[in-house]
Structure 1
Amino acid sequence: MNGLLLTDELVLLAYDDAGANRLGRPHLDYGLAGAVLLELALAGRVEVADKRLVVTDPTPIGVPLLDEALATVGDGRPRAPKDWIGKLAKGLPDRVLDGLVDAGVLRRESDRVLLVFPRTRYPSPTGAEPAAETAARHRMRDALVGDGPVDARTAALLTLTGAVGLDRKLFRELPRERVKARLTEIAAGDWASAATKKAIEEMQAAVMIATTTTAAIAVTTAS
């Protein structure tokens, strides 16, 4: 597999130019788990049958992050996609960030807030938006403002950012109703097989359930 994974693109979109996570935790964690499952679906390795995620092809893809997830899903009993989100989310942000740092796309900066609280940020080496992030933004924006066909990976990335609520941060300049209508149009488009599209819809729903449930628990606890 060539180029960045959906996990890489989601992290780049979630971190601002100062290297801070504007999506928050555990939203990013769940989003990344969803991204891993979306990659497996796009690669034809998994699909959803009877509302359970099943492995249809156990052949390794050649990317450790994806192959480990594929093996985990294949070794376990069939579960609903939402049940895999929490299981696959653990440690994902650090792993993806480490990979982007090793590749030179981001750099790691550690300091302390008020000289007490440790903080780690991940800005780009130049201090400006990474080129890969800019490319992802342009690809997504072109899909939203256009009316033509959309490739499968862009459709999946739009689905993913919508599931974690990142779309509202990324495309504030676009009319919200237009974005909503275009996302519906893209979802209905002919960009993937029926099985793959069904799997992606289920992953989106699973991520949304995970993040919404977490938010509800936080509100309840605070009250």
Structure 2
Amino acid sequence: MGNLAEEIALLAYDDSGALRLGRPVFEYGLAGGVLLDLALAGRIDVVDNRVTVLDPTPTDHPVLDHALAAIAADKDRKPKDWVTRLSKGLPDRVLSSLVDAGVLRREQDKVLLLFPRTRYPAPDGGEPAEETEARQRLARAITSEDPVDPRTAALASLVAALRFERKVFKDLPHAQVKARLKTITEGDWAGKAVRRAVDEIHAVLTATVVIPAITTTS
């Protein structure tokens, strides 16, 4: 099981290695995943609308530790600020981590022999096992009324905030998916500190990512 940013990246790229989420939606989604992972790990909290470090101990994951060190060094910032700041350069760090782990490979070519393009397919050209595992966890959460574990619930909350559910759950009725995602996002699956972080980050992603995306495509 990878971290939430890695799982969002795997869900966002199709089997050909092409990105299916627009920018900056993708970048902000990764940043939201990093913040939620740090909250789940007990490293950060949101107090008085400011992200606060509770425990500076490294997590042993370079992407998360880069963010944790940045937050520890600049304490008086809102969740919205950190979503924006952490998003810069984050796709390359997350994707490089997946490439280094052998989950994806990096392919570079040119469109029409002119425009550089980078793709991130799995080494065997199919769906990575890590992505399959994340999809299966999400599908079980959507199709069952059983309690959802915090990591899966956090991933579901990110999918909901990014309005990415039609692609992630393309084989399930959309109304059912929307209703269940709302229930999961608002559910009692996290402790008080994590709950605050989830609510703040979900609100930030919805306002920062979804509204501009709708305006751009309308």
TM-score of Structure 1 vs Structure 2, range by shorter chain: over 0.9
State how 1:160-175 maps to structure 2 within 5 Å. Answer: 160-175=158-173
Partner of 1:27: 25
What RMSD over aligned residues (CA atoms) do the two structures have, in Å? 1.7
Partner of 1:76: 74
Partner of 2:183: 185
SS at match of 1:123: coil
SS at match of 1:53: strand
In the alignment, the residues of structure 1 paired with residue 187 and residue 88 of structure 2 have an alpha-carbon distance, to the nearest angstrom, of: 33
Partner of 2:112: 114
**Is the counterpart of residue 136 in structure 1 residue 134 in structure 2?**
yes
* Deviation, structure 1 residue 138: 0.7
- Residues 1:57 and 1:28: Cα distance change in structure 2 (over 3 Å): same
* Deviation, structure 1 residue 33: 0.6
SS at match of 2:60: coil
In the alignment, the residues of structure 1 paired with residue 195 and residue 185 of structure 2 have an alpha-carbon distance, to the nearest angstrom, of: 8
Letter of the 1:26 partner, please give it. P
Match of 1:176 among 174, 177, 185: 174
Q: Which runs of 5+ in 2 are unaligned?
A: none
Deviations 1:93-140 (A, max 9, x none): 111111111111111111111111111111111111111111100110
* Aligned 8 A contact 1:149 1:189 in 2: no
Deviations 1:137-183 (A, max 9, x none): 01101100100000000000011111112112111222222222212
Count of equivalent residues: 218
Partner of 1:10: 8
* Aligned 8 A contact 2:108 2:117 in 1: yes
Partner of 1:63: 61
* Aligned 8 A contact 1:47 1:55 in 2: yes
Letter of the 2:155 partner, please give it. L
State how 1:136-155 maps to structure 2 within 5 Å. Answer: 136-155=134-153
Over the matched positions of the two proteins, sequence identity in percent amounts to 55
In the alignment, the residues of structure 2 paired with residue 76 and residue 216 of structure 1 have an alpha-carbon distance, to the nearest angstrom, of: 32
Letter of the 2:182 partner, please give it. T
In the alignment, the residues of structure 1 paired with residue 23 and residue 185 of structure 2 have an alpha-carbon distance, to the nearest angstrom, of: 27
* Deviation, structure 1 residue 28: 0.8
TM-score, normalized by length of structure 2?
0.93
Q: Which runs of 5+ in 1 are unaligned?
A: none
TM-score, normalized by length of structure 1?
0.91
In the alignment, the residues of structure 2 paired with residue 219 and residue 198 of structure 1 have an alpha-carbon distance, to the nearest angstrom, of: 31
